[in-house]
Every structure is written in structure tokens, then in C-alpha cells.
Amino acid sequence: MRTATRFLLSALILAPVILSAWEPVKDTMLTEWGAKVTLENAWTEYPRPQMVRDDWTNLNGLWDVAVTGNRAPKPNKWEQEILVPFSLETPLSGIGRRITAEEVIWYHRSFEVKKLSGRQLLNFEGVDYKCRIWVNGQLAGSHVGGNLPFSLDVTDLVTKGTNDVVLRVIDGSDDPDLYQLRGKQKRDNKGIWYTPSSGIWATVWMETVPETYIERIKILADMHGELSVDACVGGNGAGVGLRVTVLDKGKAVAEKTYPYSSLKMRVKNPNLWSPDSPYLYDLKIDLLSVSGKVLDSVNAYTGFRSVSKVCDANGNWLFALNGETIFHMGPLDQGWWPDGFLNPPADEAIVWEMEFLKKSGFNMIRKHKKVEPRRYYYHADQIGLLVWQDQVSGGSGGPEWPKWQKLRALSAGYDDYNERKEWWKPGVALNADWPDWAHDQWMAELKTMIDTLYNNPSVVVWTAFNERWGQHRSLEIGNWIKEYDPSRHLNIASGGNFFDVGDIADEHNYPEPAYPLEVSRFDDYIKAMGEFGGHGWPVQGHLWDTKKRNWGYGGLPETIEEYVQRFENSMNIMGELKEKGVSAGVYTQTTDVEGELNGLITYDRKIMKIPPERIAEIFRNAGLID
């Protein structure tokens, strides 16, 4: 086993070597899955379930790492090792080191290429935030955006045998780059802010593909059995066709060949995907030459389902799935882990948490200001949980955020849609004024998020903004999203600032749910209680940091019985709102996170504060589920 060194690096000078075997950082909180992580089992699963090839190499494991000043050259020594895919600050990295705004992270590892046939792609599932990559000493590319996967074609840079890759990573977190999309990360991590997660935080892998290959696919399957498949072709993409075979439990039920890289076909009487019946079909997608030769093949899957809205007898617009109304009941889900931060400690941990939510009666998750690794959405597809996906927010409360106006404050009329003018109250602008370059980067990350998750049937809502966090150019952005993906609902601003675009008017209220039903302005929208609850309960022995403020909305109760009663009261009110036409409830939240004690589960995932069977009983009594 290779050895690792754990020490702090100065800006330019490497400290003396202190040798020790890799292990999680001592005296830190671990989940049961984090405690089982080893060098051999750290995220070995295939990272892209929606487009699978057999020929791939996992590059997770021990990498060399160094921290230098932001003007320093590449270190000439690698005296410390880190367990990838866990970021520098995490316990599972083996380091637990936080960087300053003046420091950068350098990574290095060797990897083997056994044969040079086809093209060699180097894939990163997540690197936070800006990075440059060299392969065998030559610049392979760069990337900006810490939340989403990216790929580099390194065919011309690799050789047969041993190769080297080096990364240089900058993560401004919240200073000095006000516009970096960081979600809930902040150096001053307290209250609703969490410890930053810098550098490589998700799987790194190599893939061998043919000279002409499927770069990505776009799949849409609806309740009527209509299936469209579009393939973006990489390499030499001249003269290609497509063949798609639909398989139901291994048996082909439909097939079509078309002389272009996109096609439409029909599957008769498909079993529909829903939370009650998450039925999925496998797809075999072949890229064909003009003569019909198979150039490339990938395996995928899809669920036939249609997202829509219907109006009830009282004039309320309601969520619908496959033509039937469905009340969306889900937790606000931060997706944060004490041992892996942005990255869950293991694939099994995702499944365990989703199964808890499903047993509790939830049918939806609001993924809050974070994009998960792609396997997360695969499990939501498999288990049957709807996903509201937030765009990751930028800024941390400075001039890049406008003032916040909740729905009731925005109930008055207005004169026009000029977003740079005052609307309802003198001196209150509902959009911040972002520079073009920052807006362009925001849009680039939004488009990549939609492209990355487009094929997942579980994803049914895009949320552009949350509580005015980095909110800007709202109408322009909302109209773009609706045009780019009309197959899903748009929530322009969860909790405000609301604009007349999209499908949802979303209110936040703590601790009890409350919605301005009397305001007619929102009658043309699906009414959603996008955040409420947040009841906290401290479980001794399972607190992340006893020296920091540990809190919940409305103050902490005296007993666990009082905690459960508060939860039940909130759900009874939510049930009353459902009867009056509100179509969704989002309870804060799945787990405790650092000092936030408002989770249904402790941060280490070891204690369920309320058993899932009891939660489901409370939901049924409140009329939230059948």
C-alpha cells in the first residue's frame, strides 16, 4: 500500500515529510459507509448510467497533492497523497485541509493505457471550481464550473503504457469571486452555510471510444409511447445513422433504424413511469455508418412519462403526471455528508437515504442548490422519486443578490416588465445587476445541468433561483428555460422573488406553512409551499460541532415528544393548504447539516428522529398521502 503524508503546506515551501498510511481524518464525523471506505472500494461504480460503455478505467484512488500560492509553479515534489474522489477539506480525503483565497491545489497521478485504438477520453464528474489539466506535460484543456461533469479528448497526448495527469485547481468559494456558483459553500460556515469543498470531489475516469462515437444522447419518452432519441456525434461524424432498440426486461419490444443521428419511434402500450411504479425500459443505441456498419454502441434506459398540469373544479392548477393529478410531497435536500461533503461516501448511502424517504411517504426530493453525481439521479429513477432540481446559486449575499420580497409583498399590480426598474415598492429591485461575463457563465452551467439530467425521468422541475440568491435577468432566463426544455415545469424563483414566467408560484414560510391564497395574481400558476418546517432536535452524541451554534427554525423544543408534535402540527396545516389548492409541500429537511439540526435524520445518518412508518402515518392523517 502506498503511504500518505498529512501536513499543512505553506504557500511555496513543502513541509518535512511525515509518513502515515491513508486513513480518514481523525476525530471527525463519519457515516457507517464512510467508515467502510478503503483505497480499493472508493466509488468503483460506473459513473454515467444513462450512457454506458464497457471499456473504461476508474482513476479514483490515491493521487499526489500539494497546495501552493496562486502564483507558484507546479511543485517539484509530491509529498502528500489524497483519496480521490473526496475533496481536500473532507475527512475521507485523508487531509481535511481548508485553503485560502490565495492558494491553489495541485493534483498528480499516473495511469496506464493498454492500447491506443480509437479515442481516449479523460472524464471528470466534478472539480470545484476552475481547473487546468496537463497530460504528459502538455495542456489538455481547462474547465470552469464546480458542479458538473466534463470530458477531454486526450488521444493525441497519451502513449501506450504509463501516462501522467496534472491538475491545477482554483476555488474562490466566496471571496474574491462574488459570482462563482457555489451553492451553500462559504468559508465562514455557520448558520445556513457549510464548509467549502474544493478540488476533485467526484469520480475521475478514462474511456476508450471509437474514432466516430456517440458523444452524448438526448432522450424523451412520453405517456403515449412516443420516443425520441438524438445523438451528438464526436470524432469523425460524417455519414452516420442511428438504430435504437427498446428492451423490456431483456426482450426487444421495438426497434427503428434511421439514416440520421436522431429518430422518433413509438412503443405500443408502454408501462408508465411514476413514483408508485418506476417502470424503466432499457435502450441499445447503435451509431451506424452509411453502409450499416456499427461504429459505436451504448446502453441507456428511459421511463415513459408526461409532466403536465390540470385545473380542478375550484380553478386551482395542480401538478399532473401521466395525465393524473399528483401532490408533490418532498424534503428540502441539501445533499451534504459529514465525511464526503458534496460527494456521498458510497453508492449504497444514496440508496439508503432514498429508501428512508420513500418509506416515509415522500414522493419527491427538492435538490437544493446542488447538482449530485449522475448516479444519484439513476437511483431516483430506479426507486421512484420525483426531483425538483435547483440551479446552483452564485454569490453569498453581497451586491450580486437583490432584496428579497415574498409572495404576499409582491401581490400589488405593476406597470411593465422592465426588470431594471422598481416594481412594487420604492427602492426595491427584484433582480441584481450581473455583468455579462458572469451571466454568461451562469447560463453555461445552467445549460450543462439541463443537458446532463435531461434523460432522467425523475427530474420534473427546474428551479432557476432560490430566495433571490444571485437572482438576475429572471424573465430572460425563465423564457429561455421554457423554450429549451418545455417537457418539464419551471419554478422561476422558489420563495421569491417571483416573476410572471414558468408554471409555479412558490412560497417559503417557517416554521409553519402559509400561502397567500387570497392573492389572485397567482391563480394562473401551480401553488407550491417550497419550504416550511425546519423543526430542530439535537441528538446528543450525533452533533457535528458542539462548540458552534446548533439551531432549528422556531427554536429547539424541550423534548422529543414536543419535536414530533411540532412536525405533526406543520403537516396538519400543510394538509389544509392542500385541500385549498396548494399542490406541493417541501419540508426542511432530510438530514441535519453541520449546525442545522432540522433534519429528520442526524448528520451522520445514524439516528432517525422520527421512524419512517410514523412519518407516513402523520402524512396519511393529514391527508397528504393515501
pLDDT for the residue 428: 66
- Residues 456, 479: Cα–Cα separation, whole Å: 22
Residue 374 sits in the same domain as residue 459: yes
- 503 is a domain residue: yes
Question: In the predicted model, is pLDDT for residue 233 greater than 50?
Answer: yes
HSE-CB of 79 using CA atoms within 13 angstroms: 17
- 40 is a domain residue: no
Question: In the predicted model, is pLDDT for residue 103 greater than 80?
Answer: yes
Res. 15 pLDDT band, cuts 50 70 90: very low
- 174 is a domain residue: yes
- Residues 497, 116: Cα–Cα separation, whole Å: 53
Q: Where are the beta strands (DSSP E) in 222-352?
A: 226-235, 240-248, 251-258, 262-266, 281-289, 294-302, 307-311, 317-321, 324-325, 328-333
User: Which residue, 182, 202, 222, sits at the end of a domain?
Assistant: 202
- Residues 303, 315: Cα–Cα separation, whole Å: 30
- 451 is a domain residue: yes
Question: In the predicted model, is pLDDT for residue 409 greater than 90?
Answer: no
Q: What is the mean pLDDT of residues 458-471?
A: 96
Question: In the predicted model, is pLDDT for residue 505 greater than 50?
Answer: yes
pLDDT in tens, 248-269: 999 999 999 999 999 999 999 9
Question: In the predicted model, is pLDDT for residue 404 greater than 80?
Answer: yes
Apex 383 CA angle, 382 and 384, nearest 5: 95
Residue 347 sits in the same domain as residue 408: yes
User: Which residue, 172, 202, 232, sits at the end of a domain?
Assistant: 202
For residue 185, give its domain range.
Answer: 3-30+61-202
Residue 134 sits in the same domain as residue 256: no
- Residues 591, 528: Cα–Cα separation, whole Å: 22
Apex 555 CA angle, 551 and 560, nearest 5: 90
Res. 407 pLDDT band, cuts 50 70 90: confident
Which residues does residue 496 pair with via DSSP β-bridges, in sequence order? none
Question: In the predicted model, is pLDDT for residue 599 greater than 70?
Answer: yes
User: Which residue, 202, 228, 255, sits at the end of a domain?
Assistant: 202
pLDDT in tens, 145-198: 999 999 999 999 999 999 999 999 998 765 556 799 999 998 888 899 999 999
Question: In the predicted model, is pLDDT for residue 415 greater than 80?
Answer: no
- 313 is a domain residue: no
Residue 152 sits in the same domain as residue 273: no
Of 607, 594, 601, 593, nearest in space to 546 by CA:
594
pLDDT for the residue 16: 34
pLDDT for the residue 175: 58
CATH number of the CATH domain containing 508: 3.20.20.80
Residue 21 sits in the same domain as residue 94: yes
Percent of the chain with pLDDT over 90: 84
The grid coordinates of residue 404 equal 428579497
- 103 is a domain residue: yes
pLDDT for the residue 52: 98
Residue 90 sits in the same domain as residue 220: no
pLDDT for the residue 40: 95
Instruction: Tally the residues of the chain.
Output: 626
Question: In the predicted model, is pLDDT for residue 19 greater than 50?
Answer: no
For residue 444, give Cα distances in angstroms to 142, 148, 394, 417, 476: 15, 11, 13, 25, 14
Pairwise pLDDT comparison (410 vs 265), residue with the higher score = 265
CATH number of the CATH domain containing 226: 2.60.40.10
pLDDT in tens, 561-597: 999 999 999 999 999 999 999 999 999 999 999 999 9
Question: In the predicted model, is pLDDT for residue 442 greater than 70?
Answer: yes
- 555 is a domain residue: yes
Count of structural domains, the chain: 3
State the chain's mean pLDDT as an integer: 92
Residue 550 sits in the same domain as residue 575: yes
Residue 252 sits in the same domain as residue 343: no
- 37 is a domain residue: no
pLDDT for the residue 31: 98
Residue 408 sits in the same domain as residue 262: no
What one-character-per-residue DSSP string does 408-462 give?
Answer: GGG-S--S---TTS--SSTT--SS----HHHHHHHHHHHHHHHHHHTT-TTEEEE
- Residues 212, 235: Cα–Cα separation, whole Å: 5
> Quick check: pTM over 0.85?
yes
Question: 70-78: long-range contacts (C-beta < 8 A, 24 or more apart)?
Answer: 70/102, 70/103, 70/104, 70/170, 72/11, 72/12, 72/104, 74/106, 74/166, 74/168, 75/14, 75/106, 77/14, 78/108
- Residues 471, 474: Cα–Cα separation, whole Å: 7
Neighbours of 365 (CB within 10 A): 26
pLDDT for the residue 396: 77
Residue 410 sits in the same domain as residue 286: no
pLDDT in tens, 125-152: 999 999 999 999 999 999 999 999 999 9
Residue 293 sits in the same domain as residue 198: no
Residue 137 sits in the same domain as residue 231: no
pLDDT for the residue 174: 53
CATH number of the CATH domain containing 102: 2.60.120.260
3-state class of 25 per DSSP?
coil
HSE-CB of 391 using CA atoms within 13 angstroms: 35
Of 86, 93, 64, nearest in space to 76 by CA:
64
The grid coordinates of residue 506 equal 412558490
Residue 447: CB partners within 8 Å, gap ≥ 6? 484
